[in-house]
Structures are given as structure tokens and as C-alpha cells.
């Protein structure tokens, strides 16, 4: 192998430098040629202060590879705008560059922001509910719980008396209207408050007084309940006929209507109450006493046997039968039409043939019910007083009906002997 001349040895470092420089230029050029026209994001602007808006220019470097040449670059004059918002302490969200020409998409960022807002609202709602529940719980603990007020029958221990029908009423009395045979008796001599059963006597006096039923009567402040503070749909100033007042008093147990009937009776309210007591004595109701015509006062008292006498007499009045068993009734009050319904749902039942009925309730009396009904071909008068539970008086009536229908008159005599009042 020939030796290199001194001249060539002197040029050797320069040749090696050129070769290395060529390699350094060719490799990036080849790499750039493999990705023709691709664009890369170079820099994104960052905000320095929360709430300030500023724009930052982004420089794009475009690499081209033509004929093995590389390294040429150009700066794009376009600047992307980055906006920073400081609502609710939220941080800025970067907008990422997408494919195909570097187009940006904000859909993901918007969805993320909506999800964050929704999550915040849910957290606030849960926190509010928790705070409200805690406040209610604290109020419940702080408020004293008053025990339910006992009825006169409960205080007297009448509910301790049992019967084969397992009635929930502490007083019960069932008698044949035609034969006067007592089928069932339970504490029938007990004298208790009778609540709105009082309205049977109120209606009976009006029906027998032969007053003009089309005479208009106006509800006044005197008719407003100041004892139990019960509500009424008949506002002060409402004017209805005497017939309509009587209908509402017997069917819907309207207290203001019943009071207005007594107040407008000839001689006034005091005279009417005297007539109520006089009628009771005339009918042989020895255990009965009235102080007002609605039944709101616990001083209106009677016994089951006395009430059976009243039901039998009241059943003889056509208006008493019609109004007390009416399922519903509409009255025009000014520009309004009010719908009133019967307080006894049994009047709508196909299983019952009811000729007269009345319900009643105040806390001192418990739930009360009297009826005249035909069961298995017999005209029966039923009296239930001081029933425990909202629907128990209805259930007691159903028990008696099933018993009479299924057992017959022979079993009724056995039951009457076994129950001790």
C-alpha cells in the first residue's frame, strides 16, 4: 500500500470534518423527507396572572426535504390566541392541536368544563340537603313530643272490654228497628261526647219546624269555630239557602252550616239549644245533653241507646234520609262552584243499603258512626262510639254486616248475651 504524501496528510482532518458534517445534514434531511408536510406545535403560551387575558404567538417550524437539502426553516406569522378565565377559581384549559392541518378542537374541553360544573352543583346540593336534614333533626330533637290526647272512653277504661267480633269501638249497639231486638251491645250505657252526631238533632229540628227551606242564610263571624278552631270552606259572607245549609251539615258535617241553622232559628241560638234538649227528653233520651248545634263541644253527650232512638226517629224524615246519604253535592258560592262529599264512604258502596247515617269526631269523643241500614232483609240501627283509628268505625260496621249475613239471628242472641257492658 503506497504511503500518503505529506500534502494529503495535511488535508486529512479537513476531509474528515466535511464527511462528518455531511452525515449530520443528510440524516435529518432524510427523516424530514419521510414525513412530508407534517406540522408540529412548537410552543404554547402560558398566562402569568389569574383573570388576565393575553395572547401568545406560536411559531411553527416547517421542515422540507427537496433534493437532499435540509435545514431551511421559516417562521409562521400566525399566532394562536390563548384565553384564560378565572371564574369560580377554575384553571385554564389548554387547547390541543388536532390532526389534518393542526385544527384545534374544544369539544373535549367544553365537556370537561360542563362535567365539572355539574359535579360542583351536585356537591352543593348534597351539602345543602345534609345541612337541611341536620337542621330538621335538631328541630325534632328540640321540639317536645306531645302524647296523643285520650278520649273520654279511653280514660274510663272502656276499651278494656272485649267482644267476640273484636270491635275497635269501645261502645257498640246494634238493634232491629222493627222488632227492637238487641243484636249486639257493648258499653251501651256509657255516656260520652258524641261530636258531630249532634247534627242529627240539629237537622231533625229544622226538618220538623217547617221553616221556608229556600230562605237565604249568610255565614257570619258568629258561625266561626272558636273552640276547636276547625276550618271551613264556607267563608264569612257566604250566602246559601236553608236547604243547602242543612244538606252540607248532614252530608259533609259542615260546622258553620250547622251553627247558622241554629242561629237563624226563631228565637235565636239559645232557643234552638233549649229545643234540642226538649226534643231529647220527648224521645226518651235520658242520657243526652246538648249545649250547641255542631258537636264541637265535648259537653254534647249521649249514650248508644239514646242515639239509637234518635236515629229511628230521624229516619222517618225524608229530608234527613236524602241529605245524610247523598254521596256528594255542589253549591255555587259567588263565582265559585264548590264540591262537597259525604264523610261516610259506605254510602257509595254497593254492599250497603243505608237509609240514614252520620259520622263524628273530636279527640274527646274518638271516631263515631251511626247508621240505619238493611242487612239480610232486616232494618238495623248501628251505633259505634269512641272508635280507635281513622277507619276503625267503618271496619266495625263491616264486621257487624258480615256477622249478620253469615251467622243469622240465632247467633246474634248468643253474642248479645256474651258481651258485658
Residues carrying an active site annotation: 196, 199, 253
Rounded Cα gap, residues 194 and 291, in angstroms: 12
140 CB contacts (<8 Å, ≥6 apart)? none
Please say whether the beta carbons of 247 and 321 come within 8 A: no
CA atoms within 13 A on the CB side of 19: 6
Please say whether the beta carbons of 408 and 174 come within 8 A: no
Beta-sheet pairing, 378-387 with 169-176: antiparallel
Amino acid at each position: 500500500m503506497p504511503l500518503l504524501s505529506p500534502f494529503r496528510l495535511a488535508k486529512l482532518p479537513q476531509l474528515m470534518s466535511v464527511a462528518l458534517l455531511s452525515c449530520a445534514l443528510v440524516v435529518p434531511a432524510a427523516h424530514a423527507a419521510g414525513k412530508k408536510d407534517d406540522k408540529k406545535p412548537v410552543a404554547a403560551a402560558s398566562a402569568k396572572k389569574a383573570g388576565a387575558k393575553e395572547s401568545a404567538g406560536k411559531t411553527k417550524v416547517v421542515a422540507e426535504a427537496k433534493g437532499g437539502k435540509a435545514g431551511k426553516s421559516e417562521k409562521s406569522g400566525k399566532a394562536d390566541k390563548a384565553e384564560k378565565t378565572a371564574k369560580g377559581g377554575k384553571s385554564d384549559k389548554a387547547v390541543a392541536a388536532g390532526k389534518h392541518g393542526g385544527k384545534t378542537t374544544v369539544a373535549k374541553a367544553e365537556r370537561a368544563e360542563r362535567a365539572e360544573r355539574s359535579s360542583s352543583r351536585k356537591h352543593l346540593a348534597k351539602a345543602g340537603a345534609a345541612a337541611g336534614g341536620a337542621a330538621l333533626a335538631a328541630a325534632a330533637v328540640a321540639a317536645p313530643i306531645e302524647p296523643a290526647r285520650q278520649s273520654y272512653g279511653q280514660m274510663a277504661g272502656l276499651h278494656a272490654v272485649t267482644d267476640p267480633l273484636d270491635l275497635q269501638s269501645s261502645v257498640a249497639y246494634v238493634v232491629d228497628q222493627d222488632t227492637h231486638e238487641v243484636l249486639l251491645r257493648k258499653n251501651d250505657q256509657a255516656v260520652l261526647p258524641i261530636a258531630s252526631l249532634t247534627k242529627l238533632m240539629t237537622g231533625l229540628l229544622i226538618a220538623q219546624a217547617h221553616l221556608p227551606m229556600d230562605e237565604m242564610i249568610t255565614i257570619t263571624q258568629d258561625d266561626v269555630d272558636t273552640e276547636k278552631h276547625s276550618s271551613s270552606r264556607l267563608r264569612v259572607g257566604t250566602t246559601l239557602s236553608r236547604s243547602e245549609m242543612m244538606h252540607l251539615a248532614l252530608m259533609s258535617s259542615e260546622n258553620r252550616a250547622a251553627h247558622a241553622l241554629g242561629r237563624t232559628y226563631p228565637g235565636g241560638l239559645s232557643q234552638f239549644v233549649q229545643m234540642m234538649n226538649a226534643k231529647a227528653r220527648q224521645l226518651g233520651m235520658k242520657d243526652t245533653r246538648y249545649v250547641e248545634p255542631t258537636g264541637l263541644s265535648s259537653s254534647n253527650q249521649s249514650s248508644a241507646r239514646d242515639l239509637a232512638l234518635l236515629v229511628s226517629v230521624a229516619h222517618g224524615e225524608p229530608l234527613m234520609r236524602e241529605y245524610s246519604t247523598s254521596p256528594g253535592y255542589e253549591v255555587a258560592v259567588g263565582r265559585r262552584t264548590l264540591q262537597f262529599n259525604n264523610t261516610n264512604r259506605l254510602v257509595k258502596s254497593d254492599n250497603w243499603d243505608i237509609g240514614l247515617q252520620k259520622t263524628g269526631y273530636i279527640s274527646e269523643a274518638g271516631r263515631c258512626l251511626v247508621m240505619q241500614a238493611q242487612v239480610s232483609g232486616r232494618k238495623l240501627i248501628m251505633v259505634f262510639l269512641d272508635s280507635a283509628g281513622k277507619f276503625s268505625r267503618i271496619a266495625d260496621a263491616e264486621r257487624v254486616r258480615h256477622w249478620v249475613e253469615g251467622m243469622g239471628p240465632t247467633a246474634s242472641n248468643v253474642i248479645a248475651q256474651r258481651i258485658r257492658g
